[in-house]
Chain A
Amino acid sequence: MALAKLSLEEWIQAAAEQAVSFTDFCVDFQRRELDLTAEEVLARMEAMFAVMEESIAVGLKGPRSKGGLVGGDGQKLQRYLAGKQQSMLGDFIGKAVVYSMAVGEANAAMGRIVAAPTAGSSGVLPAVLFALKEEYGVNSHDLAKALVVAGAIGMVIASRASLAGAAGGCQAECGSAGAMAAGAMVALLGGTPAQVGNAVAITIKNMLGLVCDPVAGLVEVPCVKRNAGAVAQAIVAAEMALAGIESVIPVDEVIDAMESVGQSMHCSLKETAQGGLAVTPTALALTEKIFGKKL
């Protein structure tokens, strides 16, 4: 995909110069790109959010996956947390992690999800947005705006690096999803444009180098739990950015670094199931069990 390179730093600067929030900047920019009104763009995003909400509900019923390796863990964590006075995750992260696993499990069971940015990493954004809705009382209009911000960040990553595990490893999928979620959270909670950039940069930096090594080539193990990990990373980065902590390396450079790491990553670690977890003895045995043969 040869796309013209976009720059998050340019957008951040433009928003600051125009003295508008990063959210308003993104909504206006995207509606122009699409030749739609802001309301039309947001209505479409609200529809996406509705599908996300549905996918959480489906996943929380604990469906078994197509390959049989995952299912029911989101539900398990939810029940465990519900029975606790106090948990290490706390209410917000606890909820978000539960929801991310639910969507990952719904996806693995051939449920309907929003690929955001991909099917494998589809749990991250719904998780943080739905947790924000429940814990912070954010309304659906603002959640739609947050999705525009997340999408805008994803576009920059797609143009400078990649969003596909096959091209860039899992850093490109769960890493990007985490970065999009972190930026969206900061924008939604009133952070400055620069803070959005810092949240994106910090998330990617903390997930740099993550390989794509799905067991039996299926979007099941480690994918579901990696969505949960990405949620935690995104929240850590967002809270740091909101506190005013800056990324020493500017965000565009961080994205470019992710691209170069993806380039140097061996192809056995890019969705081919030829390396990493996918070739552990247990994974190989499971593969043989699922497909009745070696891959």
Chain B
Amino acid sequence: MNIFDIIGPVMVGPSSSHTAGAVRLGNVACAILGEPVAEAVIGLHGSFAQTGRGHGTDLALVAGLMGWTTDDLRIPQAFAYAQEMGLKYSFKTINAGEAAHPNFVKFHLTGRKGSESQVAGASVGGGRVVISEVDGFSLEFTGEFPTILTLHEDRPGAVAEVTGILSKRGVNIAQMRVFRRNKGGLASMVLETDQPVDDSDIAAVAGLPMIRAVRRINAIS
């Protein structure tokens, strides 16, 4: 937390959790997909489903999927822009269970080039968000730092190789966590870095033998 988390963010109202947080959830989901969104099926849970419309949550989520920031004055017109850009969106109410955060959303995204991603997360207050699921994988990150997501085989040395290659390239890891389905199966690493990572860093990680996929999420503003 720094002072500009308190005096800020600059945002389009009315609600840090239901509007600004919704934009950011869209931002991260779009970054995970890795290409412009062509179609989005957006499942709203709890308070997002109940009071979202009055907060412009629906507009904010779509704005976020177009990569807009929380202070973009076009947010109230996000639907019209989406139509113009050929982004098809639909909303449905979901029940993610009692344990789910009240401001929870699940995106099913299809990109223009055809890639698909499922991303779920919550707006946890003050515009902050937590992503809790990517393509069926339970994990946790906030998008506040440049983030690298891997899908890799859970073998000894996997973590060391990834962190090793990043440190050689001058990327300092602020935080790292490993999430796995079962021992020895597929796992996912979430690496939050101090410096932005570039395409060549991602390519270097992707080149490691046990890595199945790598994704990069730039820090959300």
By a beta-carbon cutoff of 8 Å, the part of chain A in contact with chain B is 1, 3, 30, 33-34, 41, 44-45, 48, 51, 65-67, 106-120, 122, 125, 147-148, 150-152, 154-155, 158-159, 163-164, 166-167, 180, 216-220, 272-273, 290-291, 295
B178 CB to closest chain A CB (Å) equals 21
What string of 1s and 0s marks CB contacts (under 8 Å) between B59-85 and chain A?
A: 100000000000101011000000000
Contact B14 A154 (CB under 8 A): no
Q: Which residues of B are in contact with A by a Cβ distance under 8 Å?
A: 1-20, 47, 50-51, 53-56, 59, 71, 73, 75-76, 102, 125-127
A111 touches B10 (CB 8 A): no
Given contacts A112-B71, A158-B6, A218-B55, contact A119 B11 (CB under 8 A): yes
**Which of chain B's residues have a CB closer than 8 A to the CB of A220?**
14
| A159 partner residues in chain B, CB cutoff 8 A | 1
In angstroms, Cα B4 to Cα A225, docked, is: 26
Q: List 25 A-B contacts (CB under 8 A).
A: A44-B4, A51-B71, A66-B56, A109-B14, A110-B56, A114-B7, A115-B127, A116-B6, A116-B8, A118-B126, A120-B15, A120-B16, A151-B7, A154-B3, A154-B7, A158-B6, A164-B17, A164-B125, A164-B126, A166-B17, A216-B51, A217-B50, A218-B51, A273-B51, A291-B54
Chain A residues near B76: list those with CB within 8 A: 110
The answer to whether B126 and A110 have CB atoms under 8 Å apart is: no
4 closest A-B pairs by beta carbon, nearest first, are A107-B13, A217-B51, A154-B6, A151-B3
Give the distance in Å from the alpha carbon of A67 to the alpha carbon of B14 in the complex: 10
Contacts of B19 on A, CB cut-off 8 Å? 110, 119
Return B140 CB to nearest CB of chain A, in Å: 14
**Contact, CB under 8 Å: B55 / A219:** yes
CA distance A235 to B43 in the complex (A): 45
Instruction: Verify B51–A155 contact, CB threshold 8 A.
Output: no
Contacts of A167 on B, CB cut-off 8 Å? 125
User: Known contacts A114-B10, A217-B54; is A119 also within 8 Å of B1 by CB?
Assistant: no
Establish whether residues A113 and B11, one from each chain, have CB atoms under 8 Å apart when the complex forms: yes
In the complex where A273-B51, A291-B53 touch, is A48 in contact with B2 (Cβ < 8 A)? no
Contact A34 B54 (CB under 8 A): no
A290–B2 CB distance below 8 A: no
In the complex, which residue of chain B has the Cβ closest to the Cβ of A166? B125
* Extra pairs beyond A109-B14, A119-B15, A217-B51 (13, CB < 8 Å): A30-B3, A48-B10, A66-B56, A110-B13, A110-B76, A147-B7, A154-B3, A155-B2, A158-B5, A158-B6, A163-B6, A180-B6, A217-B47
Determine whether the beta carbon of B11 is less than 8 Å from that of A112: yes
Which residues of chain B are near A45, meaning CB under 8 Å? 7
Q: Which residues of A contact B11 (CB under 8 A)?
A: 112-115, 119
